[in-house]
Amino acid sequence: MTTMTTMATPTTTATVALGIDRLLASNRLDGRRIGVVTNPASIDANLAHTIDRLSSRDGVTVAALFGPQHGFRADVQDNMIETPHGKDQGRGIPIYSLYSETREPTPEMLEGLDALVIDLQDVGTRVYTYIHTMAHCLEAAGRVGLEVIVCDRPNPIGGALVEGPVLDPAFRSFVGLFPIPLRHGMTIGELARLLNETYALGASLEVSQMAGWDRGMYHDDTGLPWVMPSPNIPTLDSATVYPGSVLFEGTTLSEGRGTTRPFELIGGPGVRPDALTDRLNGLDLDGVFFRPVWFEPTFQKHAGVCCGGCQIHVTDRKTFRPVRTAVVLMQTVRAHAPEAFAWRSPPYEYEHEKMPIDILAGTDRFRAQIEAGQPLGDIEADWTAALASFGERRRAYLLY
């Protein structure tokens, strides 16, 4: 394994200074041995990777590297496939996988470090495992008295809106460790503060803040380049629909993995695209249009099988609500093609008993509501009190 090296320096029009920029502009790391939790999306406005920037800094010793799900190089396409530990051949330092036999750094991995730097690109959704890798790092560092510095990055789908069910702790898993909603509306640095303080993770934590970011910005408002944070979030379009369409991982329908439009394409064998999209578009949901499609995944669910379904086209990000859209899509597919729809069975993400849809939604109430055919308004109303409570808790930790 080798690290990522940037050869050219493109012209940038970025309006946002990243947490790593501000950290390197200080002398906080001078004379220190550090570990870095990172992957290929940890780049700056000029596409220089965090590891290259840290390694070139006089007086800073990068002594260990840590990779989240999909690997340090993000080269493992499928989910739920563990990645091995390795070695950076160019620098002769270990690369530890935190999606392996362990999901948190062991004391041996942290030995000899003066600080642990976390620079990961989150996508604003509770089930995206990087925030849980970060939480495990905070806990592990707290136990050994190691300082943690989280370099903040934009929430690519903005920081203004929250949506969806809040996790019930009874459904805690690696896709949901703490009571936050599906779309949490926070940056990874803000979440680090909330989780560390609210749930007593015990880390000595510093967040290196951004400059120039505001909560209404989507990633393409920042001027920063987009590098896919994981193999199945290739574009900002994927990230925009992900907080809702990720719920289809808990069904037998394809969520578009194995295609070039993961999470935008939803469907399966036996679904008639035109009939489905006519029903969906007749509901006049805000900010979205459903286009009929046929697609054939190359891996994962229904690999090599022709699927009928729809592509989710977001027409207005300000009014689009991804979780609401997913609820309506799920209800409509069940009514239109009940023989094509079923709940996926465990195991899923290290959970061998609870239903995948329940740990994704963070509750078994969601599944029961879909099965009972409850109206959309009633399902959304069920989230209201918990979302309001989270909003009050969240407010104290917002940095922007």
Predicted local confidence at residue 2, as pLDDT? 45
Predicted local confidence at residue 6, as pLDDT? 44
More confident residue, 338 or 70: 338
pLDDT-based confidence at residue 134 (cuts at 50, 70, 90) = very high
Task: Name which of 250, 257, 240 is nearest 330 in CA terms.
Answer: 250
Q: Rounded to whole angstroms, how far apart are CA atoms 131 and 120?
A: 9
Which residue blocks in 96-235 are alpha helix, DSSP H?
Answer: 107-110, 130-144, 188-198
Residues in the chain, overall count: 400
Q: Rounded to whole angstroms, how far apart are CA atoms 288 and 279?
A: 13
The pLDDT of residue 195 is above 60: yes
Q: Rounded to whole angstroms, how far apart are CA atoms 94 and 67?
A: 11
Strand 288-295 and strand 265-268: the pairing is unpaired
The answer to whether 28 touches 57, Cβ cutoff 8 Å, is no
Fold of 19-221: Rossmann fold (3.40.50)
Which residue pairs from 79-82 have beta carbons closer than 8 angstroms and sit at least 24 positions apart in sequence? Answer: 79/232, 79/257, 79/349, 80/348, 80/349
Fold of 236-363: Aspartate Aminotransferase, domain 1 (3.90.1150)
Please, is 130 exposed, middle or buried when counting C-beta atoms within 10 Å of its C-beta (0-12, 13-18, 19+)?
A: buried
Q: Kindly report the number of other CB atoms within 10 A of residue 202's CB atom.
A: 14
The pLDDT of residue 362 is above 50: yes
Lowest mean pLDDT, pick from 38-52, 84-98, 305-319: 84-98
Q: Which pLDDT tens digit goes with each residue over 208-240?
A: 999 999 999 999 999 999 999 999 999 999 999
Q: Which two tokens stand for residue 396?
A: 């104290």
Task: Name which of 207, 222, 211 is nearest 151 in CA terms.
Answer: 207
Task: Name which of 199, 204, 234 is nearest 219 in CA terms.
Answer: 234
**Which whole number is the average pLDDT over 78-92?**
85
Q: Rounded to whole angstroms, how far apart are CA atoms 56 and 184?
A: 35
The pLDDT of residue 110 is above 60: yes
Q: Which two tokens stand for residue 91?
A: 């620098």
Q: Which two tokens stand for residue 376?
A: 């959309």
Predicted local confidence at residue 5, as pLDDT? 46
- Name beta bridge partners: 265: 311
Q: Which two tokens stand for residue 128?
A: 């995206």
pLDDT-based confidence at residue 81 (cuts at 50, 70, 90) = confident
Rg (alpha carbons) of the chain, rounded to whole number: 21
Predicted local confidence at residue 102, as pLDDT? 96
Q: Which two tokens stand for residue 77?
A: 């396409």
Which residue blocks in the chain are alpha helix, DSSP H?
Answer: 19-24, 50-55, 107-110, 130-144, 188-198, 236-245, 273-281, 322-336, 356-361, 365-372, 376-381, 384-395
| DSSP structure class, residue 397 | T
Domain ranges of the chain: 19-221, 236-363
Predicted local confidence at residue 217, as pLDDT? 98
Lowest mean pLDDT, pick from 67-71, 93-97, 105-109: 67-71
Regarding pTM above 0.75, the answer is yes
Lowest mean pLDDT, pick from 30-44, 70-84, 139-153, 166-180: 70-84
pLDDT-based confidence at residue 138 (cuts at 50, 70, 90) = very high
pLDDT-based confidence at residue 76 (cuts at 50, 70, 90) = confident
